[in-house]
Amino acid sequence: MNKTTPSFILNGSPQEFVLAVILTTVLGIAIASYLYFGRPNTDTGIHSLGGLSFLNAWRFFTTRHDFLRESFHRTNQRPFEFSLFQLNARKLFFHEKSLNLNKGYAILLGGGPKLADINVNNQGSDEEALFPLLLSDIEKITRTWGPEGTIDPFTEVYKLVFQVTVRMATCRELADDPAEVSQLFDLYSTLEKSSTAAALLLPWFPSPARKAKTKATAELFKKLCSYVEVRRNATVPSNDAIDVLLAQFILAEGVSTNTIVGFVLSTIFAGVVNSGMSVGWALIYLGMNAVWKAKATAEVRALLSRHGTSPSDPLHKQFASIPVSAWDEEMPVADAVIRETLRLAMSGLAIRRNLENDIALGGHTVARGDFLTYWVSEIHFDPSVYPDPFSFDPGRYDVGREEDKRVPLAYLGWGAGRHVCAGMRLAKLEMKLVTALFLAGFEYEPVDGKGQPLTAVPQIDRNDIQRVRGDIVLNLVGDNDAA
């Protein structure tokens, strides 16, 4: 998976060169003017970072983690603002009703598909029918990997998660066609990569990224529209997601194909980025921690022996007979591993926009229309809440330790307050299925690009919005005997 850091200087196209020159000039002016402009804003009382707002915004979009960390230090941990954003207190941020999530993220998505208000938990018994198909998808892809060789967790596992998400969010005409899924994946990757700082901050600028994004969005819509039409005209209804959506929307007095496509796209976007990255990291953390890997593998074996079919059946068949409720309720080790992986990996930003009245905040004012962002690292890596915060330790959540309950809103891996993740149950199930098939099907160890075992647990590059690493692969050293 490529990073989305802007590539305008390296690519060297004429437009990007001009942009680079402009930025270099702006940088010089900004350094000179910085000391003059950093001061409290007399209207709101919030400390203004000063400098050129464009540069602050640029750093916000490119090296966000470093920008926020340094700004916090400079302002002595006070709320601060720069032209586009203001930082805020955790409780207000997650509970205030006038703070809108979708309008907040719109600034990062830059006019691309947006999160829709879905609730996958309402899908009821459809998930039981979907289950064997999901497992068969996972099995088909993992079979192409092994039993020996290397895989990049952030491309191969990501593609696997993409397939599973397409299966859950669309219909089998599409999910059963590997060439179509692969094309969809390429379009989706183009969209992801084109959310560069240049494309977001200069939407009028005809950069290659901007053009690629417009083209990919149109093609994605076209492709998905054709599948919605296939299902709309089908004579025999199914329980696939598009059919379920069609049925629900028809009951709600009809809806356009575009609305359903928007819905499906949003689900894929909400699902793939976080789930793909999280499964990759969970496998790396487990691969680096023999104790937790053994516990997780033992839990999967116990689940199979309680609910699985004959051990001589293919793995996906054995797993398919495990009821969804058992995946939900009988995997405390996997739950702790997922929770800890997300504490470490989901440590970026939450964003809101104040759509209603001005909000008073400790003598300051957050005006209507302002964007607010909360830096999740502030709590996820607070050593007074999570001792040794950068180490992978799923035991922190055990009864008796319960570090995530030490202060209110200490854990934000799935969001909190008014915007808890609508896909949490589905995402957890997806993460458990992929890791369980992996642990039961392979023996593996994480290695570096040269095939050497890693000497230390790798750290996540927190400036990288996608949180991926291109320098770690999983070395598959054969079938796990649980298979």
Minimum CB distance to ligand HEM, residue 174 (Å)? 16
Cβ proximity to ligand HEM: between 165 and 475 the closer is 165
Cβ proximity to ligand HEM: between 100 and 207 the closer is 100
Minimum CB distance to ligand HEM, residue 421 (Å)? 3
Q: Are 380 and 350 in contact (CB under 8 A)?
A: no
Distance CA 134, CA 180 (A): 17
Minimum CB distance to ligand HEM, residue 376 (Å)? 8
Which DSSP symbol is given to 453? Answer: B
Cβ proximity to ligand HEM: between 213 and 467 the closer is 467
Residue 195: CB partners within 8 Å, gap ≥ 6? 4, 108, 109, 110, 112, 209, 213
Minimum CB distance to ligand HEM, residue 69 (Å)? 19
Cβ proximity to ligand HEM: between 19 and 465 the closer is 465
Q: Are 331 and 303 in contact (CB under 8 A)?
A: yes
CB atoms within 10 A of CB 249: 15
Distance CA 257, CA 469 (A): 37
Minimum CB distance to ligand HEM, residue 64 (Å)? 14
Phi first, then psi: give them for residue 446, nearest 5 degrees. Answer: -75, 135
Cβ proximity to ligand HEM: between 270 and 296 the closer is 270
Minimum CB distance to ligand HEM, residue 254 (Å)? 23
Residue 14: CB partners within 8 Å, gap ≥ 6? none
- Following DSSP, what letter does each residue of 357-388 receive, concatenated? S-EEETTEEE-TT-EEEEETHHHHT-TTTSSS
Minimum CB distance to ligand HEM, residue 365 (Å)? 22
Distances 36 to 22, 48, 80, 91, 464 between C-alpha atoms, Å? 22, 11, 16, 33, 31
Phi first, then psi: give them for residue 375, nearest 5 degrees. Answer: -95, 105
Cβ proximity to ligand HEM: between 58 and 411 the closer is 411
Strand 371-375 with 85-87, pairing: parallel
Minimum CB distance to ligand HEM, residue 418 (Å)? 6
Cβ proximity to ligand HEM: between 382 and 479 the closer is 382
Distance CA 345, CA 471 (A): 17
Minimum CB distance to ligand HEM, residue 94 (Å)? 7
Query: Residue 339, exposed/middle/buried by CB under 10 A (0-12, 13-18, 19+)?
Result: middle
Within 178-297, strands assigned E span none
Cβ proximity to ligand HEM: between 304 and 429 the closer is 429
Cβ proximity to ligand HEM: between 145 and 375 the closer is 375
Residue burial 187-211, b: 16+ Cβ < 10 Å; e: rest: bbbbbbbbbbbbbbbbeeeebbbbe
Minimum CB distance to ligand HEM, residue 118 (Å)? 5
Largest pairwise CA distance in the chain: 74
User: Does 171 belong to an annotated binding site?
Assistant: no
Cβ proximity to ligand HEM: between 51 and 389 the closer is 389
Return the residue nearest ligand HEM (CB atom): 423
Residues that bind ligand HEM (CB under 6 A): 101, 115, 118, 120, 267, 270-271, 274-275, 278, 342, 346, 350, 413-415, 419, 421-423, 426-427
Q: Are 460 and 341 in contact (CB under 8 A)?
A: no
247 three-class SS: helix
- Which residue ranges make up the annotated binding site? 421
Residues comprising the binding site for heme?
A: 421
